[in-house]
Amino acid sequence: MQFHLNGYTAGDPRLSPSEKAQSRAAEQGAPGKLPETVDVLIVGCGPAGLTLATQLAAFPEISTCIVEQKTGPLEKGQADGVSCRSMEMFNAFGFVEKLLQEAYWVNETTFWKPDPSAPQHIKRAGQIFDTEEGLSEFPHVILNQARVHDFYLEAMRTGPAQLHPHYARRLLDLEVNPAAGPLDHAVSARFERSDAAHAGEIETVSARFVIGCDGARSQVRRAIGLTLEGDSANQAWGVMDVLAVTDFPDIRMKSLIQSTDQGAIVLIPREGGYLVRIYVEMDKLEKTERVADRQIVVEDLIAKANRVFHPYTLDVKDVVWWSVYEIGQRLTRAFDDAALAASSTQHPHVFIAGDACHTHSPKAGQGMNVSMGDAFNLGWKLASVLKGQSRPQLLRTYSEERQAVAQDLIDFDREWAAILSAKPVAGAATTAQGVSPDTFESYFIKSGRYTAGTAIHYQPSSLTAASTHQHLATGFELGKRFHSSLVTRLADGKPMQLGHTVQADARWRLFVFADEAGATKNSALDRLCRYLAEDPTSPTQKYTPADSDLDAVIDVRAIFQQGNRALEIADMPTLLLPRKGIFGLVDYEKIFTIDTRSGADIFETRGISRSKGCMVIVRPDQYTANILPLDATDELARYFDALLC
As a whole number of angstroms, the distance between CA 567 and CA 445 comes to 43
Do residues 203 and 33 lie in contact, with contact meaning Cβ atoms separated by under 8 Å?
Answer: yes
Catalytic residue list contains 279: yes
Which residue in 39, 80, 413, 526 is the catalytic one? 80
Which residue in 362, 424, 539, 578 is the catalytic one? 362
Do residues 598 and 486 lie in contact, with contact meaning Cβ atoms separated by under 8 Å?
Answer: yes
- The single-letter DSSP state of residue 436 is -
Angle at 193 between CA 351 and CA 11, to 5 degrees: 80
Q: Name the nearest CA neighbour of 24 among 77, 67, 72, 66.
A: 72
Specify the 3-state DSSP secondary structure of 444.
helix
Which residue in 85, 147, 193, 270 is the catalytic one? 270
Chain centroid offset of residue 570 CA? 40
Do residues 260 and 268 lie in contact, with contact meaning Cβ atoms separated by under 8 Å?
Answer: no
636: left (phi over 0), alpha (psi -120 to 50) or beta: alpha
Q: Name the nearest CA neighbour of 256 among 382, 396, 88, 128.
A: 128
As a whole number of angstroms, the distance between CA 400 and CA 349 comes to 15
Catalytic residue list contains 270: yes
As a whole number of angstroms, the distance between CA 574 and CA 526 comes to 10
Do residues 115 and 176 lie in contact, with contact meaning Cβ atoms separated by under 8 Å?
Answer: no
Catalytic residue list contains 73: no
Do residues 624 and 618 lie in contact, with contact meaning Cβ atoms separated by under 8 Å?
Answer: yes
Do residues 258 and 437 lie in contact, with contact meaning Cβ atoms separated by under 8 Å?
Answer: yes
* Number of alpha carbons in the 13 Å side-chain half-sphere of residue 262: 22
As a whole number of angstroms, the distance between CA 93 and CA 100 comes to 14
Which residue in 167, 279, 458, 639 is the catalytic one? 279
- Tell me how crowded residue 25 is: count the other CB atoms within 10 A of its CB: 9
Do residues 572 and 560 lie in contact, with contact meaning Cβ atoms separated by under 8 Å?
Answer: no
As a whole number of angstroms, the distance between CA 87 and CA 84 comes to 5
Angle at 643 between CA 49 and CA 574, to 5 degrees: 105
Catalytic residue list contains 312: no
Angle at which helix 47-56 crosses helix 367-386, to 10 degrees, equals 30
As a whole number of angstroms, the distance between CA 187 and CA 67 comes to 15
As a whole number of angstroms, the distance between CA 455 and CA 85 comes to 9
Residue 524, H or E segment = helix 524-534
Q: Give the length of the chain.
A: 645
User: Could you tell me whether strands 37-43 and 64-67 are parallel, antiparallel, or unpaired per DSSP bridges?
Assistant: parallel
Do residues 89 and 140 lie in contact, with contact meaning Cβ atoms separated by under 8 Å?
Answer: no
Q: Which residues are identified as catalytic?
A: 80, 270, 279, 362
